[in-house]
Structure 1
């Protein structure tokens, strides 16, 4: 059964842009982009299950997460949308487009390919669990605990966006961490669905990222046969590293596609 996801909705006319974050992210990560896009179109950003302000539940398959997204579209009476997903959210977006192409005017997939990846998050999960075990009282303590596992400061800052303070002034994760780890095999797998999405697509990749290598492009073309490929001088979090270039590429693509 689909969950009722938390959403940010700017309102407005025309075909909406629906934004789906990646693993351990949330709709809040997209607020600066939403401020730019909302001048031109309605924008809806959502928190996937076990992320942000959305409910926690077992099951992290792409079909289950896609059904959650479809329920958002139904609840908001969105018959057709432009769908943008980063990383894990890109696989969710591909799954929605494969099963419900009539609901997707266009697809933007940011730095992910429709392939199975390795166990790339072991150190991150260890960092999150160390914070959970120690129950720190401030962000400085959280950062010191995570640094033992994750030396990259930008990644630690990104993870820290998931912190909340509980009633006892302890810093806690708002993530459904148990459910995410239990579903990690599904998360690192391919999007669900057996048919290609033949609508207009844009694949944005970071030139310094290893998530969309040249070797992955043939499989990407099989799943998204009409995809345009654009590379930005960035790593995996290309929308945060190169926000203006990212927005320009998305805007150019959506202007070309129109309201569909």
Structure 2
């Protein structure tokens, strides 16, 4: 069974004084893409600003091509992210500010609204494919356009989101780190920490891909994942 877990529905942040001590569990939304209920799932988790649609085509492709093995959860695949702090390379704060500043008149047609938002994001987000990724979060609600993701909550907790905790016990299973060759999120400086935490890790480049690997090199990503999974 292949299970796709989109984002949690994040509530608005509590007042600053209470935020330090309040931890609230929220339900995860998820979509099952097929398979049998008695099999352990292959779980796909999208990144920040992601939604259910981002990896849906990847999930369908993996499900159709035989990713229904009971031992799949014994392996780990990381797509263009390292087990290190990424604040020095992250531009999420700028993206949040740009998204907050988007102004769209009420009642505008969806295509026109997306084009207007795209134009307003262009100054900060130069890559067209990244703008399209962010625009998957633009929703029409009763004639008004709003962002699907809770920008206030993400902004409030961004430092925690992009941080990475210190782990002393390594993961003993097979691991695959897929690196977009045009992305800074996995660099050679990260290899020692990857090998420390994942001693069986294999690091592979997806040539020509940026951080959104599945969007830039879809077939190459699916092929790398299938090659890493146990044979049928």
Asked whether the two chains share a fold, i.e. TM above 0.5, the reply is yes
Paired residue secondary structure (1:27): coil
In the alignment, is the contact (CA less than 8 A) between 2:93 and 2:155 conserved in 1? no
1:28 aligns with 2:53: yes
1:140 aligns with 2:115: yes
Change (3 A) 1:145 1:192: same
2:188 alignment partner in structure 1 = 214
Aligned counterpart in structure 2 of residue 107 of structure 1, from 76, 79, 83: 76
Q: TM-score, normalised by structure 2?
A: 0.78
1:231 aligns with 2:200: no
In the alignment, is the contact (CA less than 8 A) between 1:139 and 1:171 conserved in 2? no
Aligned counterpart in structure 2 of residue 175 of structure 1, from 141, 144, 149: 149
| Structure 2 unpaired stretches of 5+ | 1-23
Q: Deviations over 1:204-253 (max 9, x none)?
A: 11111111111110011111111111111011111211111111110011
Q: TM-score, normalised by structure 1?
A: 0.70
For the residues of structure 2 that align with 1:128 and 1:227, how far apart are their CA atoms? Answer: 36
For the residues of structure 1 that align with 2:183 and 2:50, how far apart are their CA atoms? Answer: 18
Task: Give the greater-gyration-radius structure (CA).
Answer: 2
In the alignment, is the contact (CA less than 8 A) between 1:17 and 1:81 conserved in 2? no
1:16 alignment partner in structure 2 = 41
1:4 aligns with 2:30: no
If each structure's helix is expressed as a fraction of its own residues, which one has the higher value? Answer: 1
RMSD: 2.0
2:20 alignment partner in structure 1 = none
Q: Deviations over 1:141-184 (max 9, x none)?
A: 211221232222111111000111011x1211010111111111
1:121 aligns with 2:92: yes
Alignment of 1:56-205 (within 5 A): 82=72, 104-117=73-86, 118=88, 119-131=90-102, 134-136=103-105, 137=108, 138-167=113-142, 169-191=143-165, 193-205=167-179
1:58 alignment partner in structure 2 = none
2:17 alignment partner in structure 1 = none
